[in-house]
Amino acid sequence: MTLPALFYGFLLSSLYGTAFHFWTGGKGLQLLFYLLLAWGGFWTGHFLGVYFEWTLASLGPIRAGMGTIGSLLFLILGRWLGKRDG
């Protein structure tokens, strides 16, 4: 994988994390939490796509479709598990 591909993957997943933060009305440190979730989900989805040879919306060496699905799943699951009552 090339350096520009890694940069593009982090840029795309950062966009997902930031958009999710603003969409849910997050505060302060939640932005960092959502960025970490989006990065982890994107690369998990990407590597699962590589492993199983799924090419949903691939952009060069990046499995962007699987990365997007992974990011969204991690973000939704992380928001649900990270909720605090009160």
Q: Supply the range of the domain harboring residue 9.
A: 3-82
Number of domains in the chain: 1
Band of pLDDT at residue 34, cut at 50, 70 and 90? very high
Asked if the model's pLDDT at residue 85 lies above 80, the reply is no
Closest by alpha carbon to 24, among 65, 66, 85, 78?
Answer: 78
Taking only the tens place, the pLDDT of each residue in 36-81 is 999 999 999 999 999 998 888 888 899 999 999 999 999 999 999 8
Q: Are 61 and 1 in contact (CB under 8 A)?
A: yes
Task: Say what the pLDDT of residue 27 is.
Answer: 84
Residue type present at position 24: T
